[in-house]
Amino acid sequence: MKVPVVPRREPERPREIPKTEDHRFPCEACGGDMRFEPAAGRMVCDHCGNSVDVTPARAPIREIDIREGLQDGAGGAEQEETRVLDCPNCSAQVEFDPDVHAAECPFCATPVVTGTGVNRHIKPGAVLPFALEEPQAHEAMNRWLGSLWFAPNGLQRYAKKGRKMSGIYVPFWTFDARTETSYSGQRGDTYFVRRTVMRDGKPVSVQVPKIRWTPRRGRVARFFDDVVVLASKSLPKSHTDALEPWDLSGLSPYAPQFLAGFRAEAYQVALEEGFREARTRMDAVIARDVRMDIGGDQQRITALDTRISDVTFKHVLLPVWIAAYKYRGETFRFVVNGQTGRVQGERPYSAIKITIAVILGLIVAAIVGFIASQTQ
C-alpha cells in the first residue's frame, strides 16, 4: 500500500516587530551628537554649533480603535523594540543609548548598573515636544523650592547648586469615546415649614428646611476627547496629575528627532489597565452630567446604564524635567512640566524651622495675652 506523501508545513513566522529608530543623530559637519533645542525647534550640535531645522510632520495623528490595540496582546497596533535599563528601586524602564551600561535613574537617583533588557511595546503615535530648556526648568524649580519655607536649607542649597536635570518623555494614554447614558433618580427641592421652638424659656417661630423628592428619568450623552491617563509607575501619580493641564493641541506625529538629547520612558501601565482608569474618570463626569440634568437642590441617582462606542486611543509622550536628589539618605524628587513650567515634588520639612515657628507663635500669643490683660 502506497502511503500518500503529505507536504511538510512550514512553521508560521512570527510577525517581525520593527526596532525603534535611533535617537542619536550625528552632525554632518563634525560627527558629534546633535540634540533637539526646544526654543528654536531645531537640531543643534553643541560641538561645532551646526543646526538643522526640524519640521513637524503634517500627517494627522492616528486614533487607534481600542479593539485593535487589545487584540492578541496589542498585536494589532504598531509596535517597536527598545533597549531599556530597569531601576531596581522604583522599577522605571528608561531608554538609554546602546553604549550606556551604567547610569543614574532620573526618577529616584539610584545607580543603575544591571537589569539591561529589551522592551516591546506599542509605538508612540505622537509627541509633545519640550518647550522649556533646562535652565528655565531649573529656575522654575528654584522658585518653587524658595516658596517652601519649612524645607531644610541644606536641601535648597544642594538643589540650587545647578545639579543637572533630566529631560524625560513620560508615556501617557489618551482615550476618545462616545457615551449615551440612561438614568433614573430623584430630584430634591427645598421648601420651608414653620415650627415653634423654645429658646431661653420663650417660644420662638422658626423656618425649618425640608426636602421634597420627586422621581426623575432621562438620558445624557457626551463625547470624551483625549482623556489623559498616566502610563508610568515611576513617579507618584499625585506629582504628574499636578502638572496638568497639558495643551495637547501642540502634539506632533511621533518623530525620533524630538527625542534627541532626551530620554524616553517605556510605559508600565498596560492599555487595558489605562482604559479602566479612563472609564472611571468618564463615569465621574457622566454622574455629574446626570445630576445637572436632574436639577433641583439635591439629587439622588438610583441607576445608570451607559453605552460606550467609538473608543479610540493614542500612545503619546509628554515632556517632563526631573530632578532627583539624595539628601541625608532620603530621595527627594521634583518634576517640571516641560511645556508650561508647572512644578510639583516631594515636600520635605525642617524640624528646626518648625520648632522655631512654634516657639515664635507661643511668644506672640503670650505677648497678645499680656497686652489684653493689661487693657482689662
Distance in angstroms (rounded) separating the CA atoms of residues 213 and 138 = 56
* Dihedral of alpha carbons 135, 263, 325, 32, sign: negative
Within a domain: 236: yes
Are residues 367 and 291 both part of a single domain?
no
Within a domain: 19: no
Are residues 232 and 375 both part of a single domain?
no
Are residues 238 and 164 both part of a single domain?
yes
Domain count, the chain: 2
Are residues 243 and 358 both part of a single domain?
no
251: left (phi over 0), alpha (psi -120 to 50) or beta: beta
Provide the residue range defining the domain that includes 369. Answer: 351-376
Within a domain: 245: yes
Average pLDDT, the chain: 78
Within a domain: 8: no
Within a domain: 368: yes
Are residues 168 and 266 both part of a single domain?
yes
pLDDT beyond 90 at 330:
no
Are residues 115 and 180 both part of a single domain?
yes
Global pTM reads: 0.73
pLDDT beyond 70 at 376:
no
Within a domain: 34: yes
Mean pLDDT of 158-180: 83
Are residues 175 and 132 both part of a single domain?
yes
Are residues 113 and 31 both part of a single domain?
yes
Are residues 236 and 362 both part of a single domain?
no
Are residues 327 and 366 both part of a single domain?
no
Within a domain: 11: no
pLDDT in tens, 186-245: 999 999 999 888 888 888 888 999 999 999 999 999 999 999 999 988 877 888 888 888
Are residues 256 and 370 both part of a single domain?
no
pLDDT in tens, 252-302: 898 888 888 888 888 889 999 999 999 999 999 999 999 999 999 999 999
Within a domain: 204: no
**Which run of H or of E encompasses 30?**
none
For cell 524635567, the residue is 321
Are residues 355 and 273 both part of a single domain?
no
In a 3-state reduction of DSSP, which class is residue 110? coil
